[in-house]
Amino acid sequence: MWRAGAGAAAAVCNVCRSIATNRPGVKVTLPRLKMHFISRSFYHHHYLNRSLNRSLQFPLLKISVQQFSSLSHLPLRKTALLPVKYGCQPHRNFIIARLASRLLKLRYLILGSAVGGGYTAKKTYDQWKEMLPDLSDYKWIVPDFIWELDEHIDFEKFRQALPDTEDLAKLLPDFDRIGESFSLLKGFFIDPAGETAFKATDSQGFENDKKYKKGLLGELILLQQQEEEARRAADQYSSGTSQQKRKATDKEKADQLQEELVQTQMKYQRILERLEKENKELRKLVLQKDDKGIFQRKLKKSLIDLYSEVLDILSDYDASYNTQDHLPRVVVVGDQSAGKTSVLEMIAQARIFPRGSGEMMTRAPVKVTLSEGSHHVALFKDSSREFDLTKEADLAALRHEIEIRMRKSVKEGHTVSAETISLSVKGPGIQRMVLVDLPGVISTVTSGMAVDTKETIFNISRAYMQNPNAIILCIQDGSVDAERSIVTDLVSQMDPHGKRTIFVLTKVDLAEKNVASPSRIQQIIEGKLFPMKALGYFAVVTGKGNVSESIDAIKDYEEDFFQGSKLLKTGMLKAHQVTTKNLSLAVSDCFWKMVRESVEQQADAFKATRFNLETEWKNNFPRLRELDRNELFEKAKNEILDEVISLSQVTSKHWEEILQKMLWDSVSTHVIENIYLPAAQTSNSGTFNTTVDIRLKQWTDKQLPHKAVEVAWDTLQEEFSRFMTEPKGKEHDDIFDRLKEAVKEESIKRHKWNEQSEDSLRVIQHNALEDRSISDKQQWDAAIQFMEETLQSRLNDTESVIHSMVGPSWRERWLYWLSRTLEQNTRNETKNELEKTIRVNEDHPAYLANDEVTTVRKNLEARGIEVDPVLIKDTWHQVYRKHFLKLALSHCNLCRRGFYYYQRHFVDSELECNDVVLFWRIQRMLGITANTLRQQLINSEVRRLEKNVKEVLEDFAEDNDKKVHLLTGKRVQLAEDLKKVREIQEKLEAFIEALHQEKDS
């Protein structure tokens, strides 16, 4: 060490001798030497400090606050310490290294580690080390070859290398402009009285060292000295306890010294927190002005976001964690109402979760990605809305949104869900990590819960904790008996050696107040009470139970509690084991350590999985593109929309033909049974026309328009289904069939025909049926043909009914060895008897009189056939219907030549063709109605159906469960897995690259 001090002194002597000899006009000042030594050994000043203090003695050199603060905006860079050669013997005391040490506050950090210990001092050291300025751009002030000094020095070369005072002034940057962003640092070097905290010492050494112990650094130095004195005194008094005469006095003094030691630690902790708060504000300003390139925080901010994206993709890829997903997460588990949510909120520094009094609030896993940012905001991964966590209205909205998402994720008949809700929280000073808040473990299923709730929560917790790289944050309620804990047994099963478990005891204030033996708390924190092991044990206080408390108020309460807690005063708890601040630092460090150790191994595993999936695809689907479910849905969507557009390209003739046919099939029964037959069975022409007009008017007013709209809608559905389901040849892909069918059904369900169309259609139909004037022979012949086809169809139907009633004919019995049943024999004999009645009187009316029924029954009884009168009447209806239809068909043939009489209004003519006119009116109404419906279809309904189809497709596109249900098969699942694995691997590689860049920077 002395040799190093001698070498440093030699370097200083050579510099001063060169300046004094060759530049007699230049004054040797401390700033010039300070710039030299700070730029060359910035991170080794403590070493130089100890060396130079032993061997150098320089007179006091004055330096102003402005000269020191002007260096605070230089860019950050670590510089290596070059070896120092020995040039001359030490003969003066030089204190510049001591000033540099105080400037950089390394003494403060070393003392912080010694007194406070734990993660707080380490984290503060790292943060302040990054904020030190980079002087590499100003090394021209003292050239590099000055560090290569030997016994022979070229002083002339050194003199020429040094710039003049005027040149130096021109080359120096604008320190006022550079110092804008770091103006807050100046406050750390000024004591409350406004004087510099780093005054230069005089030439007589360090006799007046106390006068420089002002400001925060000086206060910490005094605290360290007081603590050391207290410890020595405590040890001295403790060693004398063996003496009986001083036993009581020694114990009292030892307790007093222990109290002073705790007070010293708490005072130091408050100083650290004050510095961290000021540092947090400074970092916030720096993040807002990151475009100046002073701090490279964008990499760190995006690093945790990259990692969170990987976890989101993995969660979507396999929610049950059956894959090789071993990426680290901080899994937060605990008994219900143990304080999990409160701990998370303290780490996130905002009241972001829904809260309830004793009831289960966390009903689904919530993944919270914590990262540093200039503004304290939160947002969901599937939403662009940012919630400002500094505003109570946004906090309330965020809590409400989380609660809504939890309720939506829980399926009907269940209480909890395994679906993960992803949330990001950013803010100044927040530790970077990914936490997953799980539903609280319960011991009993209460009313209103699903019977499998307890087992479901255990399964969800096991699924997350069985990940060998998951960090388990076990939350235990300190205000209840330890024997009532359930979660500790579960954690000990999943991590029996405690290699990745961090234990947190909450509600320590209630525990200290209510627990009879405080030593039980010490046993818990030391890991001696629960049958589980952990990496670390922490005790925290998360408020007084008031949901309206702010995070700052909770922090103040926690600090006040531990300051006066007997647990700390008696040494049961250590200072680094308390407060949520120390907990968050510990969890963050453990998280990133686990990430760095495991992420590359996980990337290799997914790379192997990708290769296997690609090989399987090539062997099974060599000629098909790898379309995942979303891409297949887009392809099917385009096909469906093309098919809907094809509806508008259907010709008008085709629409009218199918509409007219379907409409007549729908109304023909009513026309024949309720209008034609009742009117035609009358012998008077006037009565026929009157009956027809009345019944047509009633039919048009009540049933016909609505029936026509139903027919048109059914026709549109059939055409739509035909376009959707008919094969497209070789291009047809049956993987879309289920999706097309679902879209068709949902679109039809949503479609409603224009209600106003019925009113306009009623008027048109009424006018068409009112017209009785047939203008030409062609229309007359068309009406007769329509009548013949209709009557022949009805006659065939009637004969079919009679055949089923009487059974097979003699020919069928002979050729096909068929036989009749007893009832069919009875029906056949009754039919033969009724046909005799009709042959006797061909003009017999439609109704069978009672005496005729009696006659037929007696005739059958005479042949030994017992028959019921009801059976006789039913058989008569079909027999007479057949007879009447045959007569109507023969009459239709006679009317083919009746147009001449109709046109000339020969009323007295024996040929009456009123039934032909009726069928002409029906036929004309059908044609006009079909034309009207066709216009409504093309002009309105097809477009509205196309709109409904688009809406259904958009809804399906947003419903992942729907797409999974409708697009299934090995091909779809394999393409889906391949896409996800590729995305996971690419994200992991990008994260690993960013992680390496951060490590190297």
What band does 169 get if pLDDT is binned at 50, 70 and 90?
very low
- Whether the per-residue pLDDT at 204 is higher than 50: the answer is no
Q: What does the pLDDT average to over 533-554? A: 85
Handedness of CA 738, 739, 742, 745 (dihedral sign): negative
> Which pLDDT belongs to residue 708?
92
Higher pLDDT, 499 or 258: 499
Q: What percentage of the chain carries pLDDT values higher than 70?
A: 66
- The strand pair at 421-427 and 433-437 is best described as unpaired
Among 183-197, 380-394, 644-658, 882-896, name the one with the lowest average pLDDT: 183-197
- Whether the per-residue pLDDT at 218 is higher than 70: the answer is no
DSSP single-letter state for residue 355: -
What band does 318 get if pLDDT is binned at 50, 70 and 90?
low
- pLDDT tens for 14-70 read 545 554 455 455 444 544 444 444 444 433 444 434 443 444 333 333 334 333 333
Handedness of CA 621, 624, 630, 636 (dihedral sign): negative
Distance CA(412)–CA(909), nearest Å, equals: 78
Domain at 331-598, CATH class:
alpha beta
Most confident of 5-19, 77-91, 97-111, 588-602: 588-602
> Which pLDDT belongs to residue 905?
62
> Which pLDDT belongs to residue 968?
87
Longest dimension (CA), the chain: 162
In 3D space, the residue among 941, 948, 953 whose CA is nearest the CA of residue 650 turns out to be: 941
DSSP calls for 661-697: HHHHHHHHHHIIIIIIHHHHTSS-HHHHHHHHHHHHH
Q: What does the pLDDT average to over 923-934? A: 93
Q: What does the pLDDT average to over 213-242? A: 53
Q: What does the pLDDT average to over 324-351? A: 87
Cβ 895 vs Cβ 784: under 8 Å: yes
- Whether the per-residue pLDDT at 82 is higher than 50: the answer is no
Among 527-536, 585-594, 958-967, name the one with the lowest average pLDDT: 527-536
Q: What percentage of the chain carries pLDDT values higher than 90?
A: 21
Among 216-225, 451-460, 481-490, name the one with the lowest average pLDDT: 216-225
> Which pLDDT belongs to residue 560?
86
Distance CA(451)–CA(456), nearest Å, equals: 10
Structure tokens at 877: 């209806």
What band does 173 get if pLDDT is binned at 50, 70 and 90?
very low
- Whether the per-residue pLDDT at 798 is higher than 90: the answer is yes
> Which pLDDT belongs to residue 485?
79
What band does 128 get if pLDDT is binned at 50, 70 and 90?
low
How far apart, in Å, are the Cα atoms of 718 and each of 305, 582, 656, 658? 52, 70, 14, 10
> Which pLDDT belongs to residue 244?
53
- Whether the per-residue pLDDT at 664 is higher than 70: the answer is yes
Q: What does the pLDDT average to over 590-600? A: 89
Higher pLDDT, 907 or 443: 443
- pLDDT tens for 872-922 read 999 999 999 999 999 999 988 888 888 877 777 644 445 678 889 999 999
DSSP single-letter state for residue 241: G
Q: What does the pLDDT average to over 382-399? A: 89
- Whether the per-residue pLDDT at 91 is higher than 50: the answer is no
Among 260-264, 307-311, 707-711, 844-848, name the one with the lowest average pLDDT: 260-264
Distance CA(461)–CA(452), nearest Å, equals: 14
**In 187-338, beta strands by DSSP E:** 330-334
> Which pLDDT belongs to residue 106?
46
Q: What is the mean pLDDT of the chain?
A: 75
> Which pLDDT belongs to residue 283?
60
- Whether the per-residue pLDDT at 97 is higher than 60: the answer is no
What is the SS3 string spanning 242-276? Answer: HCHHHHHHHHHHHHHHHHHHHHHHHHHHHHHHHHH
CA 325 to mean position of chain CA atoms = 19
Q: How many CB atoms lie within 10 A of CB 405?
A: 19
Distance CA(975)–CA(967), nearest Å, equals: 12
- Whether the per-residue pLDDT at 203 is higher than 60: the answer is no
- Whether the per-residue pLDDT at 301 is higher than 70: the answer is no
Cβ 96 vs Cβ 30: under 8 Å: yes
- For the chain, domain boundaries: 331-598, 641-958
Most confident of 324-338, 733-747, 916-930: 916-930
Q: What does the pLDDT average to over 378-402? A: 89
> Which pLDDT belongs to residue 516?
57
Higher pLDDT, 732 or 949: 949
Measured in degrees and rounded to the nearest 5, phi and psi for residue 565 equal -75, 140
Q: What does the pLDDT average to over 182-203? A: 37
- Whether the per-residue pLDDT at 478 is higher than 60: the answer is yes
> Which pLDDT belongs to residue 671?
92
